[in-house]
Structure 1
Amino acid sequence: MLNFKSVNIIAGLTSMGLFILFFIDVISPLYFGFSLFFWFLITGFGSAFIGWNYFFKSLNANYNTKKKQIAITFDDGPNATFTPKVLHLLKQYDAKATFFCIGKHVEAHPEVFKTLLCEGHVVGNHTYSHSNYFGFFGTQRVINELESTNRIIEKISGLKVKLYRPAFGVTNPNIKKATHQMGLHSVGWSKRSLDTTGRDEKAVLKRIINDLKPGDVILLHDTSEKTIRVLEQLLLFLRQQKLSAVTIDTLFDIKAYA
């Protein structure tokens, strides 16, 4: 898979070749525009798709696992209405999950946050604001967001979070610098449910369970009734397939907290 470094090397060599050809009057300047366009296109897709590991490596799946385990993850909580319903279903099916929490939501719903920890689930950092413009933040502003959320979580729970999921799954050099500086594990996914879109629950469930295999990481959001219905059907499917739902640190054999 291409990454930011290799694409830049290829782009640099291509530009040198194009310059030579232009200098000897073989090609027109338009070729420079085409080259730049493809660089922006590839880099844009690399930024948008965390599974590419374009700027830095994220934990997207662990297909080397010898156990029949998958990881269910939830973004954007805690939510006072829906997170308790998620927790009820997880307890009912003896499943564990990882919750990537938004800092301002942890502040707003500390009791819900404490409950999910008490029930044996794992939490990670999902930025403080989850701003729509997070991908355009400078390195220091990214660090400020992550540090704010980590401080809130530590104040409430005493835990120093090591897991991080980028807002919208967007990655770039600034986010790379921030996560490396803070020593965080970036966590992506291999199964994106699209439960926040207009798709009905049948379509969402089908996206998840189609070719689901040990080591997969499922992305859901504890923010809607539709996801609750999908989760119940998913947990039933996992039981039938004898697949266990475990936390990210268990699946990848890493530490969730410092």
Structure 2
Amino acid sequence: MSGIWGVIGGTGLSALDGLEVEGEEFIQTPWGAPSAPVVRGRIGGQRVCFLARHGHPHRIPPHRVNYRANLWALREAGVDRIVAVNAVGGMHPALGTGAFCVPDQIIDYTWGRASTYFEDDLEAVTHIDFTSPYDEPLRQQLLEVLHTQGHRCLPGGVYAATQGPRLETAAEIRRLERDGADLVGMTGMPEAALARELGLAYACLALVVNPAAGKAAEVITMEAIEAVVAAGMEQVKLVLQQLLKDSPRL
């Protein structure tokens, strides 16, 4: 392992506080341009590469993110493990607004996204094992930090990845619940699968920014979501800082 961490920032996390920036590089890939430059730096002595999933400023909707270019660029930068930050809607009773989840499973409801590196000019058809979509040791590291910092957290769960950019209907959320999902977001796939195809350890740190459709009497507004994001991402930054500082140097 190279010992270089990757952090993919989602909604509300277009920069990483505490990062001693050493430079940035816009890495061209065979799959096109990534969402933003890869920002290189250190936190607590750890080498870190940060990439803003939706661009900086936040301007790329979930279904337009070039996930293949983003993951490829991070690997080219020397990253071998990634913490992906996702703002999500909560369905599970434990996932109220402001709670965290480190999911252990995912269901893909997206469509039309470029979702694999293995499709053209292949010497052989390739199928990755995706039984457990997230890296378990990395999940456990995240959970330990969340526990230490006293956050409300669901230690596992099923992430439903929907197409977006619209929010879901109440009927769609009921369907996702019947399928076994606990939280819903728009960027979990194909990102997790692409990381697996590249051999990168990958885990999701999900912050609940709103009750899923039909889970609260109030209408979901972007103003309410943005207020939770602003406060919650400050907590996300503290989690990431401790995760990196506490991890052994490689």
**Fold agreement, TM-score > 0.5:** no
Which structure has greater helix proportion? 1
**Normalised by the size of structure 1, how large is the TM-score?**
0.24
> What TM-score results when the alignment is normalised by the length of structure 2?
0.25
Higher share of residues assigned strand? 2
Higher-Rg structure is 1
